[in-house]
Amino acid sequence: MKTDPFKTETVILRVPLILGERRVEELNFRPPKFRDVLRMDEHGEQTIKAKLALMSALTGEPASILEEMIPEDAADCLVIVNRTYMRFIGLVNLVDENEVKENPTTAELPPRTSAETSAA
């Protein structure tokens, strides 16, 4: 079943997040925008900190409270975060019919000419 890219996704936490007086029992991931993935830039590519920054951007919750998650809740949230990241880099497309692309740049390259192939 394809996820609707225009709807909020909710993760019900097994263990609520508590930081001071703030208590979070569920995380609502709003549909992503390009500005969200830009938050990952200040961290190394594909690091947990980069994914945490994207999770914070999508949920509106500060990283300081998200850091309190147990591994099982974090794993559920990272499924959404990873899918979102893959949408930005072109590996997953939830809008068009072709959901997964092997290599999104391949189709954009013109075919090689016979002169190019014989020179190789």
**Tens-place pLDDT, residues 56-109:** 999 999 999 999 999 999 999 999 999 999 999 889 898 886 555 555 555 455
* Nearest Cα residue to 37 out of 99, 87, 107: 87
* Tokens 């974090």 sit on residue: 74
Answer yes or no: is 42 within a domain: yes
Answer yes or no: is 3 within a domain: no
The pLDDT score that the predictor gives to residue 103 is 54
Task: Specify the higher pLDDT residue, 85 or 2.
Answer: 85
The pLDDT score that the predictor gives to residue 77 is 98
Number of domains in the chain: 1
Tell me how far apart the alpha carbons of residues 52 and 26 are, in angstroms, rounded to a whole number. Answer: 16
Answer yes or no: is 51 within a domain: yes
The three-point CA angle 91-55-66 to 5° equals: 150
Domain residues for the domain of 37 are: 9-119
Give Cα 86 distance to the centre of its chain.
Answer: 6
Answer yes or no: is 4 within a domain: no
Task: Quick: pLDDT tens for 8-35.
Answer: 999 999 999 998 998 999 999 999 999 9
**Residue 117 reports pLDDT greater than 80:** no
pTM for the whole structure: 0.77
- Residues 6 or more apart whose CB falls under 8 angstroms from that of 61 comprise 17, 24, 27, 55
Tell me how far apart the alpha carbons of residues 51 and 47 are, in angstroms, rounded to a whole number. Answer: 6
